[in-house]
Amino acid sequence: MLPTLSVSQFLTQINDIIAGEFVIEGEVSQYKISQGKWIFFDLKDKTGCLNCFSTVFMLKQPLEDGMRVRVSGYPKIYEKSGRFSFTVQFVEAIGEGSLQRAFQLLKAKLHGEGLFNLERKRPLPRFPARIGVIASGDSAAWGDFKRIINNRWGGVEILLRHVTVQGDSAIQDIVSAFREFNESAELYDVLVLIRGGGSLEDLAAFNSEEVVRAIYTSRIPVVCGVGHERDESLADLVADVRASTPSNAAERVVPERREFFSELDFIKDRWIDSLSHVVQLLRQDVGQYQQMMFSGLEMRLGRLRDFVRSSEMLFKNIDPKSVLKRGYSITRDEAGQVIKRANQVDKGAKLVIELAAGKLEARTTKPLSPSLPL
Amino acid sequence: MPTKEIKKFNFTKAYAELEKITTWFERDDVDLEEGMKKLEEGSELVKELKNYLNTVENKIKELKKENF
Over the stretch A231-271, which tens digit does the pLDDT of each residue have?
689 999 999 999 999 999 999 999 999 999 999 999 999 99
Q: Do A22 and A70 contact (CB within 8 A), yes or no?
A: no
**Residue of A254, A264, A283 best to disrupt the B interface, most CBs of B under 10 A:** A264
In chain A, what percentage of residues exceed pLDDT 70?
Answer: 97
Task: Kindly state whether B66 is in contact with chain A, defined as any CB-CB distance less than 8 angstroms.
Answer: no
* Interface check B43 vs A, CB under 8 A: yes
CA distances from A202 to A174, A197, A231, A317 (A): 14, 8, 11, 121
Q: Which letter does DSSP use for residue A343 in this model?
A: G
CB A32: neighbour CB atoms within 10 A? 9
pLDDT on residue B6: 41
Render pLDDT for A131-168 as a digit per residue (tens, 0 to 9): 999 999 989 999 999 999 999 999 999 999 999 998 87
| Interface residue A282 vs chain B (CB under 8 A) | yes
- Domain A7-95: give its CATH code: 2.40.50.140
- The domain defined by A125-258 carries CATH number 3.90.230.10: no
Tell me, what's the pLDDT at A181? 96
Give me Rg for the CA atoms of chain A. Answer: 57
Contact flag B25-A274 (C-beta cutoff 8 Å): yes
Residues of A in contact with B61 (CB under 8 A): 157-160
Within 8 A of A159 by CB-CB distance, chain B residues are 2, 61-63
Give contacts of A 103-162 with B, CB under 8 A: 127, 129-130, 137, 146, 149-150, 153-162
Burial of B58 (0-12, 13-18, 19+ CB in 10 A): middle
Residue B7 has pLDDT above 50, yes or no: no
Residue A306 touches chain B, beta carbons under 8 Å? no
Which of B25, B37, B50, B65 to substitute to test the interface with A, most A CBs within 10 Å? B25
The ipTM estimated for the assembled molecules is: 0.80
Residues 218-277 of A with CB under 8 A from B: 257, 260-261, 264-265, 267-268, 270-272, 274-275, 277
